[in-house]
Amino acid sequence: MAGATTMHLGGNHAARFENKAATSETPLVKWTILAIALTFFTVFLLMPLIAVFVEAFRKGWETYVTALVDPDALSAIKLTLLAAAVSVPLNLVFGVAAAWAIAKFEFRGKQFLITLIDLPFSVSPVIAGLVFVLIFGAQGWFGSWLIDNDIKIIFAVPGIVLATVFVTFPFIARELIPLMQAQGKEEEEAAVVLGAKGWQVFWYVTLPNIKWGLMYGVILTNARAMGEFGAVSVVSGHIRGQTNTLPLHVEILYNEYMFSAAFAVASLLALLALVTLVIKNWVEHQAARSYRDTQESAS
Amino acid sequence: MIFKSSRRQLLALLLAAVAPLSFAQSNELSLLNVSYDPTRELYQAFNPEFSRYWKEKTGQSVTVRQSHGGSGKQARSVIDGLDADVVTLALAYDIDAIAEKSGKLPADWQKRLPHNASPYASTIVFLVRKGNPKGIKDWDDLVKPGVQVITPNPKTSGGARWNYLAAWGYALKKGGSEAAARDYVSRLLKNVPVLDPAARGATNTFVQRGLGDVLLAWENEAFLSINELGPDKFEIVVPSVSILAEPPVAVVDAVARKRGTETVARAYLEYLYSPVGQKLAARHYYRPIKPELADARDVARFPKVNFIRIDDLGGWQAAQQKHFSDGGSFDQIYGR
């Protein structure tokens, strides 16, 4: 990944930079800045995270497990996994296609397409949810047609999946576009000159080049898909055991004075976030290494 | 190449995740009860009782699913297509709105069950912090400077609309004129720091976040917070006058017909009027319509209140139009 690599190289550079007396800060400035950063980190990130786990286990291990194997909780876990399992592959295909088109070809309206891809980022999730209600709700554009054909979208699983796909739309494309643009299209052109067909070019040239960026995008998409609250809340209908995802289930438990259970389920989401972070770091590490390897073999 | 070799594994993993989630519909009956915010505990207790009763009576298994939220918002969801077999909302107007906007039930739905289709009633009381440090005794104390009042947003919450009308009704009775009522309510709203979207959210704001000096709450919600979070923290103040809140219930005919649940949906609501239903209502701090069927000990917990009725304020259609529609008295007062 491009970002991680520059950071890595930058690290070496900074060390050399700081060794010279003329370019280094006084220890006071250095430690003050460090202290501010650490305080912020502790107060805003570490403490909430610890609080989630402390609260989750306040009433003991047994309450914790009971909260997670409750049928409503299990159905929320299943629905959350389903939403992620649909939105990740869909956005994978779309993201790669969009990034490929934008990075490797010139066409009219390219800038417009890039802006459009960013739309789910700039629109509030609640609005995103309401848009689907307006389109697919009983009073919406396709409402009567859907009712006549007995298709349920809003307040059912398809609506939740749709909303999730919408809010996670840009992650992969956004990750890949700068990467593919930076790489240029020389390698692909070389492959074509050597006689590769379209798909061969993609599998043997493009994909290996973007695989770490792609992985990174997938991880981000997955994390957001599982954690999305706003848009999903609007289209869910909040039917327990049917249309509740994990974040919605946390809210319900909290509102019913079952704080330990709420935090137990929240800790599941927090764990997911932690695992995501670990994988993300691993991916970045791998990306940096593969970049270094190619640099070395090139020189 | 790492990517290629793991592709098949990734696919298998995805399939494994999706496979157990097939949408197979089971043969047993299910009902969806779309309700308002504070009834969570009541229906959690009532639903298994009804399932047992129905199984004994007919041999059919029935699962009742719940959805809770602000009453107005829930009505909106049903209008937008949430497939509720029955609705049990905070006030008649919200079910009227469903009847009017979606035509899923007839306009005279309220005549189909006894007592305006309300199997239980409640009222609006004040929840204050232990010892009542601000000395709040009646409605007049709420508009004193320095008193913070917590109430949800009447645009989305049914409870908030009852709060608003109780305050309005009190001032109307005391001041004797519309102008006096409007003046009182606008002074009251000045003391409200935050409007939550639903009753449970407002309760949490007051109880958990410790905001405000007094919570205008459903009587059942006030009892529940004391019960859940300790009698050593809060106490209930019953004002001299309050409103008789009748949360109604109805079968959503169009949905029940489509899903083939008309009989069981009707029986579900009728069961609320049975001794079991009335007992559970009283146990969960709702005033049962037939107190003789409930436990005397539960009924004894309800203090006597001088009630204003919604009909004294012209009924729900008129009250909604006048106070909570766009540009109504709430918008005029709060928008300023």
CB within 8 Å: B2 and A211? yes
Question: Is B81 at the interface with chain A, CB within 8 A?
Answer: yes
Q: Are A155 and B82 in contact (CB under 8 A)?
A: yes
Amino acid at A288: A
| DSSP code at position B84 | -
Give which of A218, A248, A220, A219 is closest to A233, Cα–Cα. A248
- Measured between alpha carbons, how far is A180 from A104 in angstroms, rounded to an integer? 8
CA B286 – CA B247 distance, rounded (Å): 10
Q: Is the pLDDT of residue B14 over 60?
A: no
CB contact under 8 A, A81 and B17: yes
pLDDT tens for A4-21 read 444 444 445 555 555 666
User: What is the span of the domain harbouring residue A244?
Assistant: 2-298
What is the per-residue pLDDT for A139?
86
In this prediction, residue B188 carries a pLDDT of 94
Is the pLDDT at B206 greater than 60, yes or no?
yes
Q: What is the pLDDT of residue A109?
A: 87
The CATH code of the domain that includes A275 is: 1.10.3720.10
Interval B304-319: pLDDT, tens: 999 999 988 988 999 9
Number of structural domains (chain A) is 1
Q: Per-residue pLDDT for B18 more than 80?
A: no
Return the pLDDT at B23: 39
Nearest chain A residue to B22 by CA: give it: A82
Which pLDDT does position A299 carry in this prediction?
58
Give me the sheet containing B62-68, strands edge to edge.
Answer: B62-68, B29-35, B86-88, B249-251
**What is the three-class DSSP state of B223?**
helix
From A89, A157, A256, residue closest to B40, measured CB to CB? A256
* Chain A residues with CB-CB distance to B101 below 8 A: 139
Coil, strand, or helix at residue B211?
A: coil
B101: confidence class by pLDDT, cuts 50, 70, 90 = very high
Q: Chain B interface, mutation test: which of A222, A255, A289, most B Cβ atoms within 10 Å?
A: A255
Q: What is the ipTM of this complex?
A: 0.75
Pick A239's closest partner by Cβ from B32, B102, B229: B32
Contact assessment for residue A120 and residue A169, using Cβ atoms and an 8 Å cutoff = yes
Angstrom distances, CA of residue B220 to CA of A205, B41, B125, B129, B281: 67, 10, 9, 17, 10
Q: How big is chain A, counted in residues?
A: 299
User: What is the mean pLDDT for each group of 10 consecutive residues in chain A (299 residues)?
Assistant: 42 57 76 93 90 90 91 93 93 92 87 90 90 90 86 91 93 92 88 89 89 89 92 91 92 86 92 85 83 71
Which residues touch B15 (CB under 8 Å, ≥6 apart)? none
Question: Given this model, what pLDDT does residue A280 score?
Answer: 81
Q: Tell me if A255 and B20 make a contact (CB, 8 A cut-off).
A: no
Q: How many interchain CB pairs under 8 A, A with B?
A: 74
pLDDT, tens digit, for every residue of A67-88? 999 999 999 999 999 999 999 9
pLDDT of residue A13: 57
CB-CB neighbors (< 8 A) of A257 in chain B: 228-229
- Shortest Cα distance, chain B CAs vs residue A200, angstroms: 13
Cβ of A255 within 8 Å of Cβ of B200? The answer is yes
> How does strand B234-237 pair with strand B120-129?
antiparallel
Instruction: Tell me the pTM.
Output: 0.81
